[in-house]
A and B are shown apart, each in its own frame.
Chain A
């Protein structure tokens, strides 16, 4: 058998023949495999970078939000002609009229059932049948029945049963939105109550009046918030409540003008550093008012405006009760400045309160509370509409570690428990020691139960998310929704999964194409080398020697494809890295609100087990492609090949 080095010498001569054909084949195969390698280098770079940044925030934890909303919402519009529904509405209405009439009589309050509370039932002109009047669809009577029916049909989420198939799942307790059954908690922009600003100064909101949906407060389990907390010391007796603030909101609270889209990456990083440095300064005020307080404030403000308008009107009769509006920074109570009511008027007012209490319509005493939040940590912004435009925005959107959507404050439940109870009334804050882990709120009609579930086995988290689609979503048969919480780690895992599948397909296709073109080249090379093989056979080469020479030729060819593909892959991924790394680094640092600002996001990494797989695949494909031509070539009769040549 010919020696290895001699095989290389003879095989190498074949690479010097048919340079154009060989070059084209090398080029095509190299480009195909090079593109795959490039994708792998880039993908691995992304995965590695994600892992590096995962040390920040929640990124390495597999937390899934499992929510269930009432799956039995009774839609009154669909049942406007339903006889049972109509009968129940009618009965409820009649009972209320009876109750109101009796209470009115009892407390000597004026009440006309026909004018004040006409029947919600009408006769349809076309069908001549009873139906709910369109005007009463949202009335309290109809909604009472709707609520009753919805609640009767609602089946609460049995989280234990739902998680039974996933042994690594653990419900994280102590999570709840700071939300109120009555009234609202408002963010005080620039420390002032939005409702007390003149109309022209009010912020145009896309989510409700006075911006109450633009900034929210929630309480979350300590283990979730811990990675975001960077300020360890907090004075619980100062009247403030500690919270992790979202990056953009912190920026706003520090009075920093939002950077323009054209701002440089350095400006963005400088901004992050500044926000981090000035984080101890960040505070935000919120004002809670129940509906009575809100109504009273509105009344007082309207009264003040009326008095102002009539200050020169001598005929204007001042109201019997004159209110004092609190300072707009205090979130204080409306007080009575002057009460000139007669005793009869006072008696009538008391009677009205008693009547309202009797019929269950008493709004309650006014309640208000100012809440001052102080930043103890920073979280990344949740993905919004930024998932387009730049690598940084994409990274922020997909990989960030966030605690809630929009501007928000997140209070660690353990820290909330240490805040004096006077600062966290139960009407406003949830019980920080609630072990249920359930966040249920948001109104009486549509009930939402929400749990945060952590999986120590990420595969189980993936399985749960897949029940709602590849990246979470609605589980149709359970009226549940599942979604990744806190970071894109599960999404990235899913991307990795699909990437692997896509890669295998791409490899199969590229391998097939490369096989065909390499087999073509090697076949031609063997065919064109018949005469030479015949001469080698004549001077003593065995069939195996000829096979070894062509096998070595194939290996040398494969090595060239490997080198070309690797270089191309490196160049491509390097180019992508140069192009996007800077943007992505900024995006990642912002997304994770990174504490360690030396971390960089790169789009290139060679440390992937796919790389040897691809390089091995090139060699294997080449060798496979050479087997048949080599076998056929080695079996030829040298005499025939020499004769054909001459």
Chain B
């Protein structure tokens, strides 16, 4: 739902939009929604607290070998992510935004450059330490949820705890709390196939939160959802950020979602636009 503020109505901007699309109510609604989102984002940017730098991307390059060809996906990207920030990475397909997110999450190492997380260089970490880093620090959310189809929701949520060797009782309790938080408390005994797309993504978010990560990295988290569920997921991210003070970085195509972020980082052909 779009909530209009008294001021908006008063300054006549909304009215102007409605008037402009008088003959096309659907377009009018979209225009109003985009306007409101833009205003809200602007407002958030103005009020967003700028904490210390949590993650620094330092001139990273990532090259993949495709047969004999070398594909340079990222070309000297440098940026900082601050604690508690909600950042959207946008860009066209193939611009390198998912790769950037995965490198930030320590899933791979950059070909050149470095990523510094809380003062630690990820490039210098061994594979095992990088795994431990991901396990203890990062929460990943994917477009296709990637829940284990043969595990019930409860066990699905506990999977990161399994790799962290969390005590069963603790992770069990945490999973239940998280399920409640994402509105799936009554679905813990269900298998993923018994959940809707939105529910599965909420479950995936709950799973990402199980080990109390410092940052949530989401790759197109709404890409496989309808707009209503998509917005609900973004609302959930905002809630998490708000309640847990967690840093959230999402990759998205959707400008409306990007508009709800504190900051939008746009990538074009592997470089910041």
Q: Which residues of chain A have a CB within 8 Å of any CB of chain B?
A: 1-3, 6, 9-10, 12-13, 16-17, 531-532, 535-545, 637-640, 642-643, 645-646
Contact = CB atoms under 8 A, between A and B. Distances in A.
B162 A3 contact: yes
Contacts of B230: none
B35 interface: no
B102 A6 contact: no
Given A537-B134, A538-B134, A539-B208, 9 more contacts: A1-B165, A2-B163, A12-B150, A13-B148, A532-B148, A535-B140, A540-B160, A543-B128, A639-B108
Contacts of A12: 150
B99 A535 contact: no
A65 to B, nearest CB: 68
Given A540-B135, A542-B128, A639 B163 contact: no
Given A3-B162, A543-B127, A638 B146 contact: no
A3 B163 CA distance: 8
B161 to A, nearest CB: 9
Contact of B159 (A536, A543, A544, A645): A536
Contacts of B132: 540, 542
B165 A9 contact: no
Given A2-B163, A16-B150, A536-B159, A638 B107 contact: yes
Contacts of A13: 148-151
Residue of B102, B132, B136 most packed against chain A (CB within 10 A): B102
Interface residues of B, number: 35
Contact of A541 (B138, B155, B163): B163
Given A540-B211, A543-B127, A10 B162 contact: yes
Contacts, number: 84
Given A1-B165, A535-B142, A639-B107, A540 B131 contact: yes
A25 to B, nearest CB: 18
Contact of A542 (B131, B144, B151): B131
Given A539-B207, A639-B99, A2 B162 contact: yes
B131 A541 contact: yes
A142 B189 CA distance: 106
A646 B159 CA distance: 22
A539 B163 CA distance: 8
B111 to A, nearest CB: 12
Nearest to A538: B140
A537 B139 CA distance: 12
Nearest to B62: A639
A645 B146 CA distance: 11
Contacts of A541: 131, 135, 163
A12 B151 CA distance: 10
Contacts of B128: 542-544
A540 B144 contact: no
B13 interface: no
Interface string B56-94: 000000001000000000000000000000000000000
Interface string B144-173: 101011110001000110111100000000
A326 to B, nearest CB: 97
B247 interface: no
Contacts of B146: 531-532, 535
Nearest to B139: A539
8 contacts: A16-B150, A535-B142, A539-B163, A540-B134, A541-B163, A542-B128, A639-B102, A640-B64
A538 B105 contact: yes
A357 B89 CA distance: 133
Contacts of B144: 645-646
A43 to B, nearest CB: 41
A539 B159 contact: yes
Contacts of A6: 162
B41 interface: no
Nearest to A543: B127
Contacts of A640: 64
B143 interface: yes
Contact of B163 (A531, A540, A637): A540
B174 interface: no
A436 to B, nearest CB: 81
Given A639-B99, A642-B142, A646-B143, A538 B107 contact: yes
A2 B162 CA distance: 6
B252 interface: no
Contacts of B105: 538
A606 B150 CA distance: 37
B63 to A, nearest CB: 13
